Amino acid sequence: MTQQKSNKAALYILMFNMFITMGSIGIIIPVMPEYLRIFGAAGQVLGMLIATFALAQFVFSPIAGNLSDQYGRKNLIIFGLILSGLAQIGFGFSTDVWMLFIARFLGGLGSAFVAPPIMAFVADVTTYEERGKGMGMLGAAMSLGFMIGPGIGGFLSKVSLHFPFYTAGAAAILAALLSLFLLPSTKPSAVQKSQKQDNLAKQMARSVHMPYFVMLIIMMVFSFGIANFQTTLSLFVTEKFNYTPGDIAIILVVGGAFGVVVQMFVITPLFKRLGEMKVVLINLFVAAVSIYLILFVSGFALILVVATIFSTATTLIRPAVNTLISKLADNEQGFAAGLNNAYMSLGNMIGPALAGILFDWNMNSPYIFGAIILLSCFFLALIWTIKKAPYLMQPDIH
């Protein structure tokens, strides 16, 4: 019973850490366009800063995941939170554009040392049967942080444009201190300790042969779809319907809030009834349809409904994929979580850049292309499951 209470407490601390990490990313979103004007920079620099953050995540996530298998999760999480906090504060103190890029790269590095060990830690403190619930709660914390962050950032920017960055940095360092004193240490198994540390290229090559490789592809594609949607939605509704920033904020917040509720209260019974793989397949199809439908709806209410459906579908995919990867990873939880984060970062890196180019060419094209990509991923996952892993279609996999 004591161990169960300890595991439950650890899960709540991990949720708080993920909430702070995602909130710290979200808190700067409404401030960035105006903040960059101080440096005489605009959209191109913003896109490159997003890509720089994602690049650092991509490069270092597999390394961080592997290290957490060898040396435990706690120290890496604390290191990542401190580095993320210092990077946010450094971003606020920057006086030149090159300093912004260094700060964002360090922020991505810090995030890489937080997310994979946290996902692996959840696998450590949950049973096989409770894994889906744990990943769902972690996903809810991520969604909640990213949803609340922009609102807090807009409010704090009234103090100064620098203040949201300092606040985000202080919150991350506070989370590190709480983790230092409250988060239990987990000892890696002998199998995990004996695993060889490969470089990024070897780990990515090795990922092709993993039983969860298709899950990694799904993570990359749906991250691409989300980034594609989020990058261009504000531009799309502003240009087509002359929406205000307040209108756009309502669309994003309602979609995010609905996703949090679903992750907290619906996802566990949904996993038990359908199984994670069916949840992935259904919501890939729903996401593809809804991102395409955004081109044909008009009126605020209908756009809000379609955007919320897309947001909810993608919200359900993430914990389902995380759970499947964790269940298939066996003793390589950190390694698998690192690869998972790396593939997600690839989608986050490519999505905004390509979406911006497509939007400049034709404002409908990001949604058509996004729908095609998501639908292709649905058929890939369906065919792979039928041919290679039909047992994944069952509610309980072993």
Does residue 4 have a pLDDT over 70?
Answer: no
> In angstroms, rounded to a whole number, what is the distance separating the alpha carbons of residues 18 and 317?
18
Mean pLDDT of 347-366: 79
In this structure, which amino acid lies at residue 257?
Answer: A
> In angstroms, rounded to a whole number, what is the distance separating the alpha carbons of residues 391 and 71?
33
Statement: 7-184 belongs to CATH 1.20.1250.20: yes
- Percentage, residues of the chain above pLDDT 90: 21
pLDDT of residue 276: 86
Of the candidate ranges 178-182, 274-278, 329-333, 366-370, the one whose mean pLDDT is the lowest: 329-333
CATH for 198-397 (1.20.1250.20, 1.50.10.100, 1.10.238.10, 1.10.10.60): 1.20.1250.20
Does residue 20 have a pLDDT over 70?
Answer: yes
Compare 300 and 243 and report the one with higher pLDDT.
300
Distance of CA 325 to the CA centre of its chain: 15
Q: Quick check: do 7-184 and 198-397 share a fold? A: yes
pLDDT of residue 192: 47
Q: How many CB atoms lie within 10 A of CB 98?
A: 10
Backbone φ, ψ for residue 383 (5° rounding): -65, -45
Provide CB contacts within 8 A for 222, sequence distance 6+: 284, 287, 314, 317, 318, 321, 347, 374, 377
Give, in order, the Cα–Cα distances in Å from 171 to each of 64, 98, 145: 22, 25, 12
Dmax (CA) of the chain: 60
Do 120 and 333 meet the contact criterion of CB atoms below 8 Å apart?
A: yes
Q: How many CB atoms lie within 10 A of CB 106?
A: 20
pLDDT of residue 90: 95
Does residue 363 have a pLDDT over 70?
Answer: yes
**Of residues 334, 311, 299, the one with CA closest to residue 189:** 334
Does residue 186 have a pLDDT over 80?
Answer: no
What mean pLDDT, rounded, does the chain reach?
81
**Of residues 367, 358, 254, 363, the one with CA closest to residue 300:** 254
Does residue 148 have a pLDDT over 80?
Answer: no
Does residue 295 have a pLDDT over 90?
Answer: yes
List, for residues 213-254, the tens digit of each pLDDT value.
888 888 888 788 777 776 677 778 877 888 775 677 677 778
Block residue for tokens 């964790």: 326
Domain boundaries in the chain? 7-184, 198-397
Of the candidate ranges 61-70, 83-92, 304-313, the one whose mean pLDDT is the lowest: 61-70
- Percentage, residues of the chain above pLDDT 70: 88
Block residue for tokens 């939880």: 333
- The pLDDT-based confidence of 135 (bands split at 50, 70, 90) is confident
Percentage helix, strand, coil, to 5, in the chain?
85, 0, 15
pLDDT of residue 309: 93
> In angstroms, rounded to a whole number, what is the distance separating the alpha carbons of residues 187 and 28?
36
- Judge residue 299's burial from the number of C-beta atoms within 10 Å of its C-beta, 0-12 exposed, 13-18 middle, 19 or more buried: exposed
Compare 215 and 345 and report the one with higher pLDDT.
215
In this structure, which amino acid lies at residue 28?
Answer: I
The model carries a pTM of: 0.72
